[in-house]
Amino acid sequence: MFTGIIEEIGIIKTFQKDSNGATIEVDCSLVLNETKLGDSIAINGVCQTVVDISSNSFKARVSDETLKVTNFGSLKKGEQVNLERALTLNARLGGHIVSGHVDCCGKFTKIEKLSDFYNLEFEIPQEQTKYVVHKGSITINGISLTVATIKSNIFKVAIIPHTFENTNLKSLKIGDMVNIETDILGKYVEKMLSSKDNNSKISMTFLQENGFV
């Protein structure tokens, strides 16, 4: 479990594909503090298990499924990635609940620089839009952000300069693909409402009428 608060920008040292997936090695420093083999680190929002560790880098194994669902398939040596260690029970939940299980990739479509923040727009698959709500939480490349607007399958987020400069958002180019994790709470609500033995009075209509969606 993660919070979406990025601790460090790492650099891809090696990314080697093989018949069973890939091995990724990331140069970094801060996230290695107290990290040991078997620990979880989110790379661009993807929960990965540390399988090897040195004084200035760590390695993780990437499954075929991860290569299919995330933007890992296009990662290259020297590329920047957002890093976050798994949440501990005594840590503050500064962002929102992030599982590290990416739902889809989104396309970066627009950036607008204003006086004190940036507006960024992303396009996602239509089937994922039901989990994206105005003022709700969303994770982009592992970053906990708030949805400013959503129209059809394009949503906008407002980024403060600190977040922009201290994550790999600053290196995005129009057309780049990013990892998207929608709010996990919405998925649980959908599951409960669609259950055949759901006897509560809460329905999708109820949630819409009371401003929840």
pLDDT above 80 (res 24): yes
Please, are residues 179 and 73 in contact by the beta-carbon 8 Å criterion?
Answer: no
In CATH, the architecture of 104-191 is: Beta Barrel (2.40)
Interatomic CA distance for residues 84 and 72, integer angstroms: 16
Whether residue 39 contacts residue 84, with contact meaning beta carbons closer than 8 Å, is answered with no
Q: What is the pLDDT of residues 148-160, one digit of tens each?
A: 999 999 999 999 9
Q: Over the stretch 156-200, which tens digit does the pLDDT of each residue have?
A: 999 999 999 999 999 999 999 999 999 888 787 777 777 666 666
pLDDT of residue 91: 76
Taking the CA atoms of 30, 170, 148 and 154 in sequence, report the sign of the dihedral they define. Answer: negative
List, in sequence order, every residue forming a beta bridge with 145; answer none if it has no partner.
Answer: 138
Report d(CA 157, CA 147) in Å as an integer.
Answer: 5
Task: Indicate the SS3 state at residue 168.
Answer: helix
**pTM for this entry:** 0.89
Please determine whether the domains at 8-85 and 104-191 fall in the same fold group of CATH. yes
Q: How many helices (H) and strands (E) does the chain have?
A: 4, 12
pLDDT above 90 for 98: yes
Burial of 166 (0-12, 13-18, 19+ CB in 10 A): middle
Q: What is the DSSP string of 140-158?
A: ETTEEEEEEEEETTEEEEE
> In the Cβ-directed half-sphere of 148, how many Cα atoms lie within 13 Å?
11
Q: Which helix (H) or strand (E) holds 21?
A: strand 21-27
- Asked if 14 and 100 count as a contact pair (C-beta separation under 8 A), the reply is no
Averaged over 29-56, what is the pLDDT? 97
Unique residue bearing structure tokens 């009371």:
210
The domain segmentation of the chain, as residue ranges, is 8-85, 104-191
The CATH-assigned architecture of domain 8-85 is: Beta Barrel (2.40)
Q: Using DSSP bridges, classify how beta strands 46-53 and 177-182 pair: parallel, antiparallel or unpaired.
A: unpaired
Helices (H), 48-183: 64-69, 161-165
172 alpha-carbon distance from chain centroid: 15
Radius of gyration from C-alpha coordinates of the chain: 18
Model confidence over 113-129: pLDDT tens digits? 998 899 999 999 999 99
Q: Strand, coil or helix: what is 162?
A: helix
